[in-house]
């Protein structure tokens, strides 16, 4: 197998072609609707992926907020390109030892899925021919581009997709590797290294969705498949491994179909609506009523080939169903899974008779209120079945949370770029590069070594900061004087462990100010360090400020005076034990005090007070 990555990282430098703030918001102040059509590219041909999307005929609704402007609505030409974004892209290019281009040409890339109000995404090549070393292996970096992010999809209903404009125009750096990755774990390691390099520029946005990966995978004899928009880095390995398994399955299936001399005739679908008219349940229950049709397409030689082979989770039936879904159907039913869904053995035999099929043949059924849509679905199903005889068709696929992927659209071709005439070419003179070279940030390995040196933290803890999402808060909080060990534990362990209300909810990310207040509370003894997770959980579930979070966590109102009083009571109650065992009484008594105080005072403070009290009682001969 071989794989390549495209890493997309949002930058925290405003928007790329206007002066708006780059902030995601739920504040919607107006909305408007557009429709888009596919137009020819620079060489006049219409891109296949663009034509596919346009054929869906969807309406696109855009929600604008207080930070949206006319550029985002495509009612005003773009402003000049954001110089800070370009500097960041050039800096990354230098870190990757890539060669910046002499002149930046902004291009329009046709995208008609509605994610851009204009029907295109602006993109500019910044540098080529870089390299990266990961675990002693070299990987080539083919291109580094600067792009604008698309609008954010917030809702989908039949015939209409709603996007929000807040994300549109946020600058993205796109880093594309060569196809030299040879395993899923290597893909993940390369993605992690590129992510760490991007964060080293200190100009990137943090949090889920701010870095997204497209993974290209192919096996020998297969075809390039693009898995688009992976947000969870740790899932990359799974997606790559499952895609390899899928392509290997499709290649074995190809050999089997060729051996059987399977073929899919170019023929119109057969109407079987009458046959299923009496069904009262299942997918065909409405057949013949309200225009609901049931159409069938024969697949000669495909019997048994649509279900999963033993020991495999892959099946052609699922690939065909994805095609039916791509025109808006809920799915399909194929003969390998029949009789089922209320369809009897007799109905299956009758369907076979009407389709003139032998036992070695299969067929597919779809049902819909629109005959046109059902016909289009079967045309796509037939084309996909035909492609199975050739092997692996090239596709763009969507990642699913369980590690599988699903067909999304054909691979885009080369016909979708043309020059952006509203932006003049931007020269990249040597003095600009020299200035950036002089201020080049540390690479991840250098950064790691420095953090180990200056903070005395274990390498593994520092590595988690450098390769994770919390380097920036770590640096800000230690700069404010908070102890590095406490900050690292808060960011590496306590924050990720905060319970989420929904499994797929984004991780809880309080502001650096709130984290600083929380650390101060622990350092001053207002709460114990052991109380930090409970306070974080209270903040995550909606406590408006730190004081209320401490109260909700049940950690408030325990003063030092109360602590001293409690310790005196506990020691007094155990005066006999203190006299007989001396210092050795400390451990059991500490346990008693901790049970009362929990995370409400710092552990070290408690032990200091307790030791002092034990010493006092012993020196006074037990008279307290
Ligand atoms: Zn704007």
> For 162-192, what is each residue's pLDDT tens digit?
999 999 999 999 999 999 999 999 999 999 9
**pLDDT score, position 599:** 72
Asked if residue 301 lies in contact with residue 308, where contact means CB atoms within 8 angstroms, the answer is no
* DSSP class of 1: -
pLDDT range class, residue 504, cuts 50, 70, 90: low
pLDDT in tens, 14-53: 999 999 888 888 899 999 999 877 777 667 777 777 777 7
pLDDT in tens, 527-559: 888 889 999 999 988 888 888 888 888 877 677
**pLDDT score, position 145:** 97
Separation of CA 173 and ligand 1 centre (Å): 19
Separation of CA 151 and ligand 1 centre (Å): 12
Separation of CA 473 and ligand 1 centre (Å): 28
Q: Where is pLDDT greater, at 406 or 39? A: 406
Separation of CA 80 and ligand 1 centre (Å): 12
Instruction: Using alpha carbons, list the distances in angstroms from residue 362 to 35, 88, 95, 333, 336.
Output: 39, 56, 56, 11, 7
Separation of CA 419 and ligand 1 centre (Å): 21
Spatial separation of the C-alpha atoms in residues 352 and 550, rounded to whole Å: 70
Asked if residue 351 lies in contact with residue 334, where contact means CB atoms within 8 angstroms, the answer is no
Separation of CA 414 and ligand 1 centre (Å): 29
- Give me the DSSP letters along 511-559: -HHHHHHHHHHHHTTSS-GGGHHHHHHHHHTT-SSHHHHHHHTT--S--
Percent of the chain topping pLDDT 70: 98
**pLDDT score, position 624:** 44
CB atoms within 10 A of CB 32: 13
Spatial separation of the C-alpha atoms in residues 248 and 217, rounded to whole Å: 12
**pLDDT score, position 621:** 63
pLDDT range class, residue 282, cuts 50, 70, 90: confident
Spatial separation of the C-alpha atoms in residues 525 and 604, rounded to whole Å: 9
Q: Where is pLDDT greater, at 623 or 377? A: 377
Q: Kindly tell me if the per-residue pLDDT of 56 is higher than 90.
A: no
Hunting for tokens 């082979």 — which residue is that?
309
Separation of CA 113 and ligand 1 centre (Å): 21
pLDDT range class, residue 604, cuts 50, 70, 90: confident
Separation of CA 75 and ligand 1 centre (Å): 11
Separation of CA 115 and ligand 1 centre (Å): 16
Separation of CA 68 and ligand 1 centre (Å): 5
Q: Which helix (H) or strand (E) holds 314?
A: none
Spatial separation of the C-alpha atoms in residues 425 and 124, rounded to whole Å: 10
How confident is the model over 381-401, as a mean pLDDT?
95
Q: Kindly tell me if the per-residue pLDDT of 505 is higher than 80.
A: no
Q: Kindly tell me if the per-residue pLDDT of 86 is higher than 50.
A: yes
pLDDT range class, residue 300, cuts 50, 70, 90: very high
Q: Kindly tell me if the per-residue pLDDT of 380 is higher than 70.
A: yes
Q: What is the three-class DSSP state of 153?
A: strand
Separation of CA 20 and ligand 1 centre (Å): 4
Separation of CA 46 and ligand 1 centre (Å): 29
**pLDDT score, position 213:** 95
How confident is the model over 326-350, as a mean pLDDT?
92
Q: Which helix (H) or strand (E) holds 109?
A: strand 106-110
pTM: 0.82
How confident is the model over 258-284, as a mean pLDDT?
91
pLDDT in tens, 102-142: 999 999 998 878 999 998 999 999 999 999 999 999 999 99
Separation of CA 35 and ligand 1 centre (Å): 21
Residue 203, phi then psi, degrees to nearest 5:
-120, 20
Hunting for tokens 């114990």 — which residue is that?
528
Taking each helix axis from N to C terminus, what angle separates 316-325 and 371-390, rounded to the nearest 10 degrees?
140
């Amino acid at each position: 197998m071989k794989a390549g990555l495209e890493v997309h990282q949002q930058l925290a430098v405003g928007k790329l072609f206007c002066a708006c703030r780059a902030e995601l918001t739920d504040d919607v102040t107006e909305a408007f609707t557009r429709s888009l059509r596919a137009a020819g590219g620079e060489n006049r041909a219409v891109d296949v992926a663009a034509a596919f999307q346009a054929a869906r005929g969807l309406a696109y609704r855009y929600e604008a907020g207080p930070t949206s402007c006319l550029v985002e609505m495509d009612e005003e030409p773009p402003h000049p390109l954001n110089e800070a974004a370009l500097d960041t892209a050039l800096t990354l290019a230098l870190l990757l030892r890539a060669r910046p281009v002499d002149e930046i040409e902004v291009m329009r890339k046709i995208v008609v899925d509605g994610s851009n109000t204009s029907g295109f995404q602006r993109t500019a090549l910044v540098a080529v021919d870089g390299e990266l070393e990961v675990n002693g292996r070299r990987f080539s970096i083919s291109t580094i581009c600067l792009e604008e992010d698309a609008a954010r999809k917030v809702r989908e209903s039949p015939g209409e997709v709603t996007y929000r404009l807040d994300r549109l125009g946020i600058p993205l750096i796109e880093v594309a590797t060569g196809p030299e990755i040879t395993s899923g774990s290597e893909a993940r390691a390369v993605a992690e290294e590129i992510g760490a390099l991007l964060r080293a520029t200190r100009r990137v946005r943090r949090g889920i969705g701010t870095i997204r990966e497209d993974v290209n995978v192919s096996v020998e004899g297969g075809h390039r498949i693009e898995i688009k928009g992976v947000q969870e880095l740790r899932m990359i390995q799974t997606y790559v491994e499952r895609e390899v398994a899928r392509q290997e399955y499709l290649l074995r299936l190809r050999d089997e179909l060729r051996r059987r001399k399977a073929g899919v005739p170019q023929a119109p679908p057969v109407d079987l609506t009458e046959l299923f008219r009496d069904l009262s349940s299942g997918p065909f229950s409405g057949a013949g009523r309200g225009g609901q049709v049931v159409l069938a397409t024969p697949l000669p030689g495909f019997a048994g080939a649509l279900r999963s082979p033993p020991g495999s989770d892959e099946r052609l039936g699922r690939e065909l169903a994805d095609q039916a879904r791509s025109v808006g159907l809920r799915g399909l039913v194929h003969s390998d899974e029949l009789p089922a869904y209320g369809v009897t053995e007799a109905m299956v035999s009758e369907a076979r008779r009407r389709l003139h099929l032998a036992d070695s043949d299969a067929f597919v059924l779809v049902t819909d209120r629109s005959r046109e849509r059902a016909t289009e679905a079967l045309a796509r199903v037939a084309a996909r079945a035909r492609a199975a005889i050739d092997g692996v068709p090239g596709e763009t696929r969507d990642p699913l949370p369980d590690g599988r992927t699903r067909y999304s659209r054909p691979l885009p071709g080369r016909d979708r770029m043309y020059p952006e005439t509203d932006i003049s070419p931007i020269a990249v003179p040597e003095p600009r590069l020299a200035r950036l070279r002089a201020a080049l940030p540390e690479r991840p390995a250098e950064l790691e070594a420095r953090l180990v040196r200056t903070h005395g933290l274990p390498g593994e803890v520092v590595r988690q900061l450098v390769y994770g999402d919390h380097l920036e808060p770590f640096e800000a909080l230690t700069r404010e004087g908070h102890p590095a060990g406490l900050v690292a534990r808060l960011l590496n362990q306590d924050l990720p462990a905060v319970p989420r209300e929904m499994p797929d909810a984004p991780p809880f990310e309080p502001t650096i100010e709130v984290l600083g207040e929380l650390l101060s509370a622990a350092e001053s003894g207002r709460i114990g360090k052991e109380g930090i997770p409970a306070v974080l959980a209270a903040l995550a579930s909606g406590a408006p400020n730190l004081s209320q979070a401490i109260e909700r966590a049940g950690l408030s109102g325990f003063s030092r005076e109360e602590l001293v009083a409690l310790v005196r009571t506990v020691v007094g109650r155990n005066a006999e034990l203190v006299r007989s065992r001396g210092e050795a009484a400390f451990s059991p008594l500490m346990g008693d005090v901790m049970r009362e105080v929990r995370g409400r005072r710092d552990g070290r403070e408690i032990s200091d007070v307790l030791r002092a009290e034990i010493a006092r009682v012993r020196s006074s001969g037990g008279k307290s």
